[in-house]
Chain A
Amino acid sequence: MKIRFFTFEKQTYLKFCQVVLPRNERLNLAIEDEIVEKINHMLPNLPILIQLGIHFALALLEIGSLAKYRCRFKNLGQENSHIYIYQWIHSSFPLLRDLSKILNGLVLVHFYDDPRVMQHLGYSINDHIQHVNSLPEIKS
């Protein structure tokens, strides 16, 4: 199965991404669109059950929001969306916890793989590799 996101799913994931995206006063990158696009691109490579889980989770986010706030998730205010996602991530229902972990995990993997973020963390891997390669060969 290789179903990419429908437009409404992208909107839901985008909102989810806006809530969970790591940012603070030192680093505030508005790269939600980029990340959701990259996740959409990676989607067909994931196991079928995870792909299904993601589609299901996005639908569930909307249904839960309608039931709880009578409003589509993408239209929820900042505070409510934050509370809502917090409750998912820390839910006592393993299914909700696991689904939010998948959605959040994909965002985090893409976020921390961004060169700007790596640089912010001081993870300058290319410089390090250049440095070790300039050292004389030492047989181990």
Chain B
Amino acid sequence: MNSGIISAKEIKSDQHLTCEVLVIGSGSGGGAAAARLAEGGMDTLLLEEGSYYDQSDFTRKLTEMTPKIYRDAGFSLIYGNPCIVFQEGKCIGGSTVMNGGMAWHTPERIMKVWREEHGIAFMTPETMRPYFEYIDQSLHVAQQSEDSISHGEKVFKRSAESLGYEVTKNFRSQNNCRGSNVCILGCPDNRKQTVQNTYIPRALQAGARIYTESKVQKILADNRRVKGVSGIIKNRESGKKFKLRVDAKIICVAAGALQTPALLQRSKLANGNGRVGKNFLCHPNVKAVGLYDEPMNQWKGVHQAHQIHHFIEEGFIMSPGGVPPAAIAPGFPQFGSEHLNLMEQYDRMLSTAVMLDDTTSGWVKALPFDIVWPYYQIDSVMLDRIYKSMRLLAGIHLNAGARKVFLPFAHLPEVKNRDELAKIGPDYVKKGEIEIFTVHAMGTCAMGGDPKRHVVQLTGEAWEVPGLFINDASLLPTSIGVNPQVTIQALSTRIADHILENRKHYLDK
């Protein structure tokens, strides 16, 4: 246990706490804000629903780790046709603990859209540069060393390049990553730079108090001005619960793009325009696995050393990304001996995926019994992008010498040669029969200059509720087409700076 983090085990009675600024959630947005605010001298309290784990807890076993560090043990669903499997973190560090570490700045074309269509005037490369540099430094963002890249990734890269596609080396939040490829279960060597091993120690060092297993259930307000929160502290092991009450004049909500809108809806706050929970975006992902004659050793290299940004303007990026056998296995429709015969070739598999930019949006609703209901329906534009991107992705595998390529389509589970690529289209692949997953929820409390369309103003403060700030992926008014953690952290840090600059104004009220 990291000293200074207070867990439910240590709590023996109901708690009533006070602080200057309360941060809800310790992921990308919450961690970045807590460090900045505490280092800026504010009395900062952070509440996190999940528990604290560090490298010594990361056992590399999927069935042991997912119930601990993922919400819903990694089986969350986004409803629609098809349903989309969604994963997010629930622990100190939030989704950064199991993320792939990809660390991209907000693309300039996205900044332009945010300025022109959402009135976010500060979103210029010049204004954001110091923030991106600060995040890059905090997370030690760097490209991978050659020796951490698997043979399979190199084969894939060569093949894509020979087809004329531009392949980019990934920027990752890592320090001397050696490619053990268990990022999704928590980096056992502390080489991935997550919120848990960067901002959290800094926040503690600067005097922040951090409570784990502490779930905020309601944000309290007087005359639409925040005054605190109520919730529970629950010991995971014993099941013992205590009431939690915090008084604070400034609250930064960073519970992630599903939980944040649900919390605001339950608190009946900031939703006069009905936009809380709308504009749900998620960068849907679709997977293809190539089966080769030679060993690919994908698991003996970093999770995702490269991305193909060649088609980014067309709305998708492609990348290889190895995962442990237990994570890849459920994607194959076989069972019994057929399944094992296939999985015995695990070392000759090369797992890849396409990440789509959103051309539509869904919504998130808080239901009774603490249920959060996300809905998202891919539209015809995205469906066409799935067809095109999967033809290209499977084409890269076949060009690289794959014997066959496994596809996530119920009635077209594999292709074996280039002629079959043409089947990846509406005749063989229906919308509801595609396996889609995602790990990027965004947009549900969008920032922007219009109080009728946006939930949050450019300072990060809710249009309708003074003192209530949103500091997580919910802020993003559009999807960004690249991995979002740096964008989230940059925005959250900027919002924290606004709070620090106006600290007196908020606290004196």
Contact = CB atoms under 8 A, between A and B. Distances in A.
Interface of A: 1, 19-24, 26-27, 38, 42, 45-50, 82, 85-86, 89-90, 94, 97-98, 101, 104-105, 108-113, 117-118, 120-123, 125-126, 128-129, 132-133, 135, 137-140
Contacts of A98: 83
B302 to A, nearest CB: 9
A48 B71 CA distance: 12
Given A23-B340, A47-B77, A105-B330, A129 B60 contact: yes
A18 to B, nearest CB: 10
Contacts of A112: 324-326, 329, 343
14 contacts: A24-B337, A24-B340, A26-B344, A38-B63, A42-B63, A47-B75, A89-B333, A109-B327, A111-B326, A121-B346, A121-B347, A129-B180, A129-B189, A138-B147
Q: Which of A89, A109, A139 has the most CB of B within 10 A?
A: A109
Interface stretch (B29-37, B137-145, B307-315, B392-400): B137-145
Contact of A46 (B75, B326, B347, B433): B75
A57 B501 CA distance: 56
B128 to A, nearest CB: 24
Contacts of A1: 369
A contact patch SS: helix
A70 B35 CA distance: 64
- Give the 5 A-B CB pairs with smallest separation, nearest first: A22-B340, A132-B178, A105-B330, A45-B73, A113-B326
Interface in B316-363: 324-327, 329-330, 333, 335-337, 339-341, 343-344, 346-347
A19 B337 CA distance: 10
Interface in B187-231: 188-189
A109 B75 CA distance: 12
Contact of A125 (B60, B327, B343): B60
B177 interface: yes
B67 interface: yes
B330 A47 contact: no
Nearest to A86: B335
